[in-house]
Amino acid sequence: MVRFIQRRSKIIKTYDFKRNLITYHLIDLTVSNFTISYERILKNGKIGFQIPLSFGYSESGSGFDQNTMSNKFYTGLYLNFYPTGQGIIRYVMGPGIRVGIGSNNDYYYDENGNHVEDHTDSFYGKILINNGAVFTPISTLSISAILSLGIRYFPDTYYSDDIVKTVAAFSLNLSYRF
């Protein structure tokens, strides 16, 4: 809802926004994850705290590389900055941290030529920088597109050069605002 406030013979246009968001991460389904999050936006509309909750449902690796870590579960905390506050179309950016349990999936041939599949579950962590746009066509619905870049720490990988790795992710989200 758009409001007009008059201050000292000046009319200021303000945006009446909902400060709580429950978000469903649509793109995560393509990498075998079910992810939702809760975000609370502070009263000034420029800072939000988001807590994701994700469950992985595939052992075959998430993403396009079969010899990779797949998510079993993660949660975390994102600090979202909205430099221009809330409105119909807004830019969002900020740091985030994730912690979770992942499965290391390795497929190889042993010395006898037998195909071997090996899965190991372990703790992992990610530090991310998020950038994106939020479109709010009505006060109770938002659609957002977020690009995340950062690093991943996964200590129980088979290859030492995969312990710390750069990561990128894209998320298309649907949010209910209340």
Sorted by where each begins, the domain ranges of the chain are: 15-177
Domain spanning 15-177: CATH 2.40.160.20? yes
The SS3 of residue 68 is coil
Q: Which residues contact 19 (CB under 8 A, 6 or more apart)?
A: 40, 41, 42, 43, 45, 177
What digits encode the pLDDT tens for the residues 48-103? 999 999 999 876 655 444 456 788 999 999 999 999 999 999 999 999 999 999 88
- 117 pairs with which residues across the strands? 107
Q: What are phi and psi of 30, to 5 degrees?
A: -75, -15
Regarding pTM above 0.75, the answer is yes
Cα first-last separation, the chain: 13
- Residue 30 DSSP class: G
Beta strands in 61-140 (DSSP E): 69-81, 89-109, 115-138
Please return the burial class of 136, using the count of CB atoms within 10 Å of its CB with bins 0-12, 13-18 and 19+.
buried
Strand duo 20-25 + 33-41: pairing:
antiparallel
What digits encode the pLDDT tens for the residues 122-170? 899 999 999 999 999 998 999 999 999 999 998 877 667 778 999 999 9
Supply the pLDDT for residue 8. 60
| The pair of three-digit structure tokens given for residue 65, joined into one six-digit string | 């590389």
Q: Which residues contact 99 (CB under 8 A, 6 or more apart)?
A: 74, 75, 76, 123, 124, 125
